[in-house]
Amino acid sequence: MAVLVSQKLGSGNWVGTACLELAPLPLHRQIEAFGKQAIASQFTSVQIVPLFLLPGVHVMEDIPSEVDIARSKLDLPIEIRPHLGIHPDLGRLFANQLSSDDAEGKILLSHGSRRPQGNQPVEALAASLGALGAYWSIPPSLESRVKELAIAGKKKICIIPYFLFPGGISDAIARAVDIISQELPAVDFRMRAPIGASTELADLILDLVEE
């Protein structure tokens, strides 16, 4: 994804990556290392675009906290840009996954946020897609939504993961769908892939960056 964004930005810009979790160094140390390289390359500021879909704890608390630590270590302006999920055209990427699908029932499955109003973007997008919202970490669950549609007589159910990239959770979702399909053999389940890296996604990210 960083390569695609870098190609679109062209020369005179530098794109790096950092991870909030499952990285050898905490996020503030990753930002600090990137910032030192930026200073050495005579860049005058750093922008951080959170590739998160929901305004949950990571976006609202964890990332700002880590950035504040990095700011205290660097003589370099660091700005947090809006998170990806706020982009008004994001729904188009999910809608494209349904353009040729004749599913009778649709479920938009997100990880879910426990913050008040944190799941409102999921519910709004689900409504625009004619789908039901479901969550991996909080109710209503995938299984409960599937049963709801099955009781309503839906025989073709499409599950759209509200995730950017494949990973451990998307693998777990696929396993859960396999189990549910064995319990409901009369239902035809279609499991869509996460959005994944693409030029379209790179364009949305660039819209959130100040050049």
Would you place residue 211 in the very low, low, confident or very high pLDDT band (cuts 50, 70, 90)? Answer: low
Residues 79 and 123 in one domain: no
Geometric angle at alpha carbon 133, from 130 and 135, rounded to 5°: 160
* Same domain assignment for residues 182 and 203: no
**Dihedral pair phi/psi, residue 153, rounded to 5°:** 90, 15
pLDDT at 63 over 90: yes
In terms of domains, do 13 and 58 share one? yes
104 & 34 share domain: no
Domains of the chain: total = 2
Residue with tokens 């649709």: 106
Q: Is residue 92 part of a domain?
A: no
Q: Are residues 118 and 149 in the same domain?
A: yes
Does one domain contain both 105 and 131? yes
- Rounded to whole angstroms, the Cα distance separating 79 from 125 reads 28
Q: Tell me the per-residue pLDDT of 44-60, one tens digit each, with 9 for 90 and over.
A: 999 999 999 999 999 99
CB atoms inside a 10 Å sphere around CB 22: 7
Amino acid at 151: I
172 and 102 within one domain:
yes
26 CB-side CA count, 13 A: 10
Tell me the residue range of the domain where 57 lies: 2-84+199-207
* Residue 51 shares a structural domain with residue 133: no
68 shares its domain with 139: no
- 156-180 pLDDT, tens per residue? 999 999 999 999 999 999 999 999 9
Whether 72 maps to a domain, the answer reads: yes
Q: Does a structural domain hold residue 91? A: no
Q: Are residues 103 and 186 in the same domain?
A: yes
Asked whether residue 170 is assigned to any structural domain, the reply reads: yes
**What pTM did the predictor assign?**
0.90
Question: Quick check: is 45 in a domain?
Answer: yes
Q: Are residues 109 and 138 in the same domain?
A: yes
Q: pLDDT tens digit string along 65-94?
A: 999 999 999 999 999 999 999 999 999 998
Q: Specify the pLDDT at position 57.
A: 93
Q: Is residue 89 part of a domain?
A: no
**Average pLDDT over every residue of 140-159:** 96
Which amino acid is present at 149? L
Residue 150, in any domain of the structure:
yes
Q: Are 113 and 55 within 8 A, CB to CB?
A: yes
Structure tokens at 208: 């959130």
User: What value does the CA radius of gyration of the chain take, rounded to a whole number of Å?
Assistant: 19
Alpha carbon 93 to its chain's center: 12
For residue 178, the domain's CATH number is 3.40.50.1400
Q: Give the span between the Cα atoms of 197 and 6, in whole angstroms.
A: 13
Q: Residue ranges of the alpha helices (H) in 46-198? A: 57, 63-73, 90-96, 120-129, 142-151, 168-183
Residues 183 and 107 occupy one common structural domain: yes
51 within some domain: yes
